Chain A
Amino acid sequence: MPVNVMIPTPLRPFVGKKSVIELKAASVGEALRALTTEFADLRKHLYTDDGKIRSFVNVYVNDEDIRYLEKENTPLKDGDTVSIVPSIAGGR
């Protein structure tokens, strides 16, 4: 089922400078896998080397944070919007 994945500005150079990618996926995990399969350079920014979503990568379905839904198993339906939202951290 087609869903829209919103790409944050710092990741747009890795998806042909697009801000939205439409793809077919039944869950958030499927959507992210489809995205990183099509745009392989994106993978290292979303996933750690052992395949987990990086801690500072946040994913929303419509306006809900997937941490409060079913995480990567959160189901998607036609027309849903999946947003990748950075969180920012650092320090000396």
Chain B
Amino acid sequence: METIAVPENFVREIRAHGAETYPHECCGAILGTDAENSREVRALHKLVNRRDDSPRNRFSVTSDDVRDADRAARKSGLEVIGWYHSHPDHPALPSEFDREHAWPWYSYIIVSVMNGTAGTMLSWRLTDDRLRFEPEKISPEPIAEPESQTDSSNLNTTSSGGSK
């Protein structure tokens, strides 16, 4: 299993972003470094969810946003290594919609936000054949918040499903 190092301050920042935009989905770019068997988050680049029509269950980042995130990363000597978003009132499992729109190589961090409180956070990578997501270990493992324990009991970390 691949591993992504996510320092605790970034875990808190992603959870806070998810709680802030609840009941809408939040999204952002993950900036960091990637080397053989070593990927580390070094900064986050918050983005505006462009899906005005259904922001409660969809997020969208335009190509201009992607280019902005790339520029921000390069300015700091980093690269965009992935994307995060929230699943309001839903587990942190990638949906079929996530899979259809995903790119390989990137880390996709999903945080579950239940009743406005962010909890379980999981990371995923699309397989090269585009058929499924594989779980990616977050290191150190994010400390579960009390509200997250109820939804984490239902998680199947090997699933590629999760769409409603």
Contacts and interface: CB of A to CB of B under 8 A. Distances in A.
B21 to A, nearest CB: 13
Give the interface residue-count category, chain B: 35 or more
A89 B59 contact: yes
Q: Is the interface of A mostly helix, strand, loop or mixed?
A: mixed
A92 B130 CA distance: 18
Nearest to A91: B58
Contact of B103 (A10, A58, A60): A10
Interface of B: 25, 27, 51, 54, 57-63, 65-67, 79-80, 83, 85, 87-88, 90, 94-95, 97-98, 101-106, 108, 128-130, 162-164
Give the 10 A-B CB pairs with smallest separation, nearest first: A91-B58, A10-B105, A58-B63, A88-B61, A90-B98, A92-B90, A89-B101, A92-B87, A10-B103, A85-B63
19 contacts: A11-B105, A13-B104, A41-B128, A44-B129, A45-B104, A65-B63, A86-B66, A88-B103, A89-B59, A89-B60, A89-B61, A90-B98, A91-B25, A91-B51, A91-B57, A91-B58, A91-B98, A92-B90, A92-B97
